[in-house]
Amino acid sequence: MKLTQKQLIKLWREEELDVDGVTLTVVEEGDFEQDYKYQSAQIIFTDGSKHYSGYITRSGSPFTDWEYEDYGDADLTEVEKREVTVTKWVAV
């Protein structure tokens, strides 16, 4: 799967996008997480048979306009949903 960053942002905003006759649909979207002056959020979408992950990155603030990094190719990874067990040390 190949998308531009601009197409990934449009998919995130509209939740569905047609690319070369294939309809892409957003399945899940993460919250924006702060990383210094940038924020990024993970987007999971499907083409109907496979699932992919990509990230939307923006800078600015909620008090001004957000500027989205909409240039270049999106860095996409094919993914699948799995249950993962984690063991941690916790206070008692």
pLDDT at 24: 98
In three-state secondary structure terms, 48 is coil
Pairwise CA distance, residues 75 & 46, whole Å: 15
Task: Give Cβ neighbours of residue 17 (< 8 Å, ≥ 6 apart).
Answer: 7, 10, 11, 23, 24
pLDDT at 13: 96
User: Residue 56 in contact with residue 12, Cβ under 8 Å?
Assistant: yes
Pairwise CA distance, residues 70 & 37, whole Å: 17
pLDDT at 87: 96
User: Residue 51 in contact with residue 80, Cβ under 8 Å?
Assistant: yes
How far from chain centre, in Å, is Cα 56? 5
What domains can be seen in the chain, in order of their start residue?
Answer: 5-79 (3.10.450)
pLDDT at 15: 97
User: Residue 14 in contact with residue 26, Cβ under 8 Å?
Assistant: no
Say how many residues make up the chain: 92
* Mean pLDDT per 10-residue section of the chain, whose length is 92 residues: 95 96 97 89 97 94 85 95 95 93
